[in-house]
Amino acid sequence: NVKLGGLGPDYEAIKEKVKKLKQQKEYAKQIKEHNMKSIASVQRLPTKPQVVSSVSRQKALDYAKKIPRPKTFTARQSVEEVKEGRVLPQTLNADSLPQISSLETLQYRHEKEKEVVAAFRTLHIL
What are the residue boundaries of the structural domains of the chain, listed by start? 10-42
DSSP letters spanning 51-101: PPPPPHHHHHHHHHHHSPPPPPP-PPPPHHHHHHT-SPPPPS-SSSPPPP-
pTM of the model: 0.30
Split at pLDDT 50, 70, 90, the class of 71 is confident
CA-to-CA distance for 97 and 117, rounded, in angstroms? 31
Average pLDDT score over residue span 31-56: 75
Q: Phi then psi for 71, rounded to 5 degrees?
A: -75, 135
In this predicted structure, what is the pLDDT of residue 68?
Answer: 82
